Chains A and B, each alone.
Chain A
Amino acid sequence: MSKIKSQVLKDIRDNGIKPTSKFYFVTRNYFFRLLFIVSVVVGAISFAAILQEMIIGSQFYKGTNLFEAPTLFVQSIPFFWLLLLAIFTGSAWFNYKRTDEGERRDNGMIVLASILFSLLFGLLIFRIGLSEDLDIMMKTHLPAYRLTAEQRLERSANYLERKDLNEQAKKALLQRERLRTLCLNYGHQNCFGNNSNSSAEVKENLE
């Protein structure tokens, strides 16, 4: 018996080494597949939220010129959701690479496929209105999130530098008022600042 063979067999015998159960490897494979799916779904939600925010922001586009529109477009991008989409695309790649079928796949193709799935599924979420529900829920329950959304709208309105509020800005502010009302109806007292004048101010401008 060769030296290596006798040493290996002795090692296996003396240390009681047994093959790891197949169940472990099968479970591990399914676990990473599941994480991949979860990552794609979160990516889809992020994309749907981006679409939702940009639809709100797009109200300022009407009547803008070619120079204003790109700046408004960039200002309306919710970078939080974009970052989340990027992170979960990376997570999808990481998890898929650890599956049996993914380990030999091209990295670029995996990233592209996960982005594509997220975009398609995100579009579906947006179309059925779930992104709007998510948007309202987050603006209702997360003051910091609501604040950043408001700041985005205000930046766009300020950029246009219209002394009189144009129709688009009015619509945006109307939505803000609608959200504030919803927020108060849920029993939150500090929505959009607990300032009863804010509602009056908006109404005055809308008249």
Chain B
Amino acid sequence: MSSYIEEHIHLSDEEIMERLADMPDLYALIIDRYTDKLSRYITRISCMRADELEDILQEVFVKAYEKSASFNTSLSFNSWIYRVCHNITINYWKKNKRYDEGISFDVDTKGFIEQVTADNSTVETIMRDADARLVQDALMTIRTKYRSILVLRFFEEQDYQEISDVLKIPPGTVATHIHRAKKALAKEVRLLEQKHNT
């Protein structure tokens, strides 16, 4: 890393975005900070292959650079770049929709199940003993908007305001969307279990 960039490594994401017009090289810091996070997010909501993932990620960072002036300081930069990533990924997913069964999540699905079932007895009953692989399959089968909100909440650990900013939904409806997403997931798990057992 050049010394010029090292000098500015202490800057926050928002401060870097403010200086981007005059100091475009600082964008390298943004890429460093968000490559891993966004890779994981893209994989979780769309199960892209590695080559597709690189293409998407490249497009996300280039697009974010192009639209950097539209960054609204009322949002956190984290929410803003997740939003750019989300939109590009979803558009790509819709055009090339398929689920590759060879790809799996790189996270603890059991941990995810525990979090999802923590406060909903109906969902808990269905998912308590569900196989981790079935949950992953169910997660990739439910509607994209439900999958996205579950990933943002339980894998990316974003709060309701951040989810509202990423998905452009009213903050008051985030809880409702999460509730519906959990029910949809539980329903899909039940269907897959029945299919598996027959």
Seen from chain A, the residues whose Cβ lies within 8 Å of a Cβ on chain B are 1-5, 7-9, 11-12, 17-22, 24-25, 100, 103-106
Contact = CB atoms under 8 A, between A and B. Distances in A.
Interface in B122-168: 164-165, 168
B28 A9 contact: yes
B119 interface: no
Contact of B70 (A3, A8, A17, A20): A20
A157 to B, nearest CB: 50
B66 interface: yes
Interface stretch (B53-61, B93-101, B110-118, B184-192): B53-61
Contact of B173 (A11, A12, A20, A106): A106
Contacts of A8: 31, 58, 61-62, 65
Contact of B168 (A12, A19, A103): A103
Contact of B69 (A17, A20, A106): A20
Interface residues of B, number: 29
Contacts of A4: 31, 35, 54, 57-58, 61
B170 A105 contact: yes
Contacts of B35: 2, 4-5
A103 B70 CA distance: 14
B68 A19 contact: yes
B171 A104 contact: yes
Nearest to A100: B72
Contacts of A105: 170
B69 A24 contact: yes
Q: Which 10 A-B pairs have the closest CB atoms?
A: A22-B69, A8-B61, A25-B70, A106-B170, A5-B31, A19-B68, A103-B168, A19-B69, A4-B35, A7-B58
Contacts of A24: 69
Given A4-B35, A7-B58, A12-B24, 15 more contacts: A2-B35, A4-B57, A4-B58, A5-B31, A5-B35, A7-B54, A8-B31, A11-B58, A17-B65, A19-B20, A19-B65, A19-B67, A20-B70, A22-B70, A100-B74
